[in-house]
C-alpha cells in the first residue's frame, strides 16, 4: 500500500509521507543512456573497493552501502533519506503517536539541525526550544557532517538519560541546554471551552487525529449546548504528519470541494482529495491559528479552509513545506523516504518555500497589565444626573481606575503561556465573538 505524509525527522517524530510497496518503483532508462549508467556504476564499484581495501580503519560493507545510499538520497533535497531497519521501525511507531526522545521536530539547514517545532509538554518544549533554533552540537560533538537520521539517532536514547544541546538562536551567542530524554506520548488533539467558544489544538497529525478531533468537538458541543458560538483550531507549531489525516481534518469542516491535490513527475500519478458532505462545526465560525512552526499537513488544512473561505486564518506565515514524501519499503533493509510530489491548495497554490499567509497577521505577543492611573467618568462629576434605570439611592457606577490590558511583543522564552496571556488566541476568540454577534444581529 502507499501511505503519504508530510515529512520531518523528530528527535523523534516523522512526518508527511506515503508508503509504497517494495519493488513498485519503475526504471525508465533508455538504451541510449544504458552504457553511461553502467560506466557510472563501475565507477561506484571501483571507489567502493578502494575504500574497503585502503581506508585507514576497517569499515563494514553494510556501513559503506548504507552511507552511499543515504548520500544519494540526501543530496536530492532536505527530506529524502534512507531509513535502516531500526529507523524504519521507529518511524512506524512515531506515526502511531508514541515514541522515545526529546519531542522536537527537526530538519537540516546548511549542515546543522534546525528546529521546526517542539511538541507540547515534552522535554524540548519545557526547555524553551523555539522554531528556527539551530542545534550545532550534541553532547559537545559538532552536528556538521552528520546526516539528519544520524543526528536524530544521537538525540534518541534511554529514557531518563541526559543530552546537552548547543543552540544558536538568531544572531545571539550560542547557549547550552541539558534535556532529559523521555517517552513521548503524543495526544495529538486537546480541547477546552473558552467561555462560549470551543478551542481545539492539534499538535501533530497521527493515526488517531481524526477520531480525536471528532470526539473533542462532540464533547465541546455537549458542554456548551446552544451557547456555542464557534471554534478556534490551533495549528501553531504543528510540524505535520500523515496526509490522510490532514485531509480528514479539512473534510470535517467542509461540505464539498477539493481539499488538496498532489502533482508528481508523471501526470498520471497526481491525486485529488475532495470533501464529503457534513460540517462538524455545523456552519459556526472557525478561526485557524498558524505560525512559522506550522508545517506540512498543517498547511494543507489551513490552505484548504482558507481557499474555501470556511475559516479565517490568523497568526503569522507558516513554514512553507509543500512536498510529499513516499516511504518505500526495501525488503529486509528498512525503507527509503523519497520526495515524490508537490501538493497544491484548492485554488492551485503551491506553498513550497512560501508558506500560507494568514488573512489577519497577528504577531506573537504576551499580554501584560499597564497602570493607567485614576480616570474620571461622568458618574464622578459633582451634581451629575442619575441614571433613570437605576433605582433611587443606588450608588453610581465607579470610575475605572484599574490597569488597562495591552499586548507587548514577547521577547522571552517560548514556554507554555496561560490562555489569558496568549495574545494571538485572545484575538481569535474576539474574532469569533464578533462574527457571532454580527450574524445574530443580521438574522433578526
Angle at alpha carbon of residue 169, lines to 165 and 174, rounded to 5°: 55
Catalytic site residue 296? yes
Q: What is the DSSP string of 367-410?
A: EEEE-------GGGSTTPPPPTTSPTTPPPPPP--SPEEEEEE-
Shortest CA distance to 8 belongs to which of 112, 108, 87, 98? 108
Catalytic site residue 307? yes
Give the span between the Cα atoms of 363 and 44, in whole angstroms.
Answer: 51
Question: What is the number of alpha carbons within 13 Å of residue 293 lying toward its C-beta?
Answer: 27
Give the 3-state secondary structure percentages of the chain, helix then strand then coil, rounded to 5.
30, 30, 40
Give the span between the Cα atoms of 184 and 182, in whole angstroms.
Answer: 6
Set 307, 318, 326, 422: catalytic member = 307
Cell of 138: 550534541
Residue 265: DSSP 8-state: S
Catalytic site residue 410? no
Cell of 31: 538504451
C-alpha torsion sign, points 29, 35, 39, 42: positive
Set 296, 298, 318, 326: catalytic member = 296
Q: For residue 227, what are the contacts with CB-CB under 8 A and spacing of at least 6?
A: 196
Shortest CA distance to 87 belongs to which of 166, 147, 21, 22? 147
CB atoms within 10 A of CB 207: 15
Set 4, 229, 284, 321: catalytic member = 321
Give the span between the Cα atoms of 199 and 429, in whole angstroms.
Answer: 9
Q: What is the DSSP string of 85-118?
A: HHHHHHHHHHHTTEEEE--EEEEEETTEEEEEEE
Catalytic residue IDs? 296, 307, 321
Amino acid at each position: 500500500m502507499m501511505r503519504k505524509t508530510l515529512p520531518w525527522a523528530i528527535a523523534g517524530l516523522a512526518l508527511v509521507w506515503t508508503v509504497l510497496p517494495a519493488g513498485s518503483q519503475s526504471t525508465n532508462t533508455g538504451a541510449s543512456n544504458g552504457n553511461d549508467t553502467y560506466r557510472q556504476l563501475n565507477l561506484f564499484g571501483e571507489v567502493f573497493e578502494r575504500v574497503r581495501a585502503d581506508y585507514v580503519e576497517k569499515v563494514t560493507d553494510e556501513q559503506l552501502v548504507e552511507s552511499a545510499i543515504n548520500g544519494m538520497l540526501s543530496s536530492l533535497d532536505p527530506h529524502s533519506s534512507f531509513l535502516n531497519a531500526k529507523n524504519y521501525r521507529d518511524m512506524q511507531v512515531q506515526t502511531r503517536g508514541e515514541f522515545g526522545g526529546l519531542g522536537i521536530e527537526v530538519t537540516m539547514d546548511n549542515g546543522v539541525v534546525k528546529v521546526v517545532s517542539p511538541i507540547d509538554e515534552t522535554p524540548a518544549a519545557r526547555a524553551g526550544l523555539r522554531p528556527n533554533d539551530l542545534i550545532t552540537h550534541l553532547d559537545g560533538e559538532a552536528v556538521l557532517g552528520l546526516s539528519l537520521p544520524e543526528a536524530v539517532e544521537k538525540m534518541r536514547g534511554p529514557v531518563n538519560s541526559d543530552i546537552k544541546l548547543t543552540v544558536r538562536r538568531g544572531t545571539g551567542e550560542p547557549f547550552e541546554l541539558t534535556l532529559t530524554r523521555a517517552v513521548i506520548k503524543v495526544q495529538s488533539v486537546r480541547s477546552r471551552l473558552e467561555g462560549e467558544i470551543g478551542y481545539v489544538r492539534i499538535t501533530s497529525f497521527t493515526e488517531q487525529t481524526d477520531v480525536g478531533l471528532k470526539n473533542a468537538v462532540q464533547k465541546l458541543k455537549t458542554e456548551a449546548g446552544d451557547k456555542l458560538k464557534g471554534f478556534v483550531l490551533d495549528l501553531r507549531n504543528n510540524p505535520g504528519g500523515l496526509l490522510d489525516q490532514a485531509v480528514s481534518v479539512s473534510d470535517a469542516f467542509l461540505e464539498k470541494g477539493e481539499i488538496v491535490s498532489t502533482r508528481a513527475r508523471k501526470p498520471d500519478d497526481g491525486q485529488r482529495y475532495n470533501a464529503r458532505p457534513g460540517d462538524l462545526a455545523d456552519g459556526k465560525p472557525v478561526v485557524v491559528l498558524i505560525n512559522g512552526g506550522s508545517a506540512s499537513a498543517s498547511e494543507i488544512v489551513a490552505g484548504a479552509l482558507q481557499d474555501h473561505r470556511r475559516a479565517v486564518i490568523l497568526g503569522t506565515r507558516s513554514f512553507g513545506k509543500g512536498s510529499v514524501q513516499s516511504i518505500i519499503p526495501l525488503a529486509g533493509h528498512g525503507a527509503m523516504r523519497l520526495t515524490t510530489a508537490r501538493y497544491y491548495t484548492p485554488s492551485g497554490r503551491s506553498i513550497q518555500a512560501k508558506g500560507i499567509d494568514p488573512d489577519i497577521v497577528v504577531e506573537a505577543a504576551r499580554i501584560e497589565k499597564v497602570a493607567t492611573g485614576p480616570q474620571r467618568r461622568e458618574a464622578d462629576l459633582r451634581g451629575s444626573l442619575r441614571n433613570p434605570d437605576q433605582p433611587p439611592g443606588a450608588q453610581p457606577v465607579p470610575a475605572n481606575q484599574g490597569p488597562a490590558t495591552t499586548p507587548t511583543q514577547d521577547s522571552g522564552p517560548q514556554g507554555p503561556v496561560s490562555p489569558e496571556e496568549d495574545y494571538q488566541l485572545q484575538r481569535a476568540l474576539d474574532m469569533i465573538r464578533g462574527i457571532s454577534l454580527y450574524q445574530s444581529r443580521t438574522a433578526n
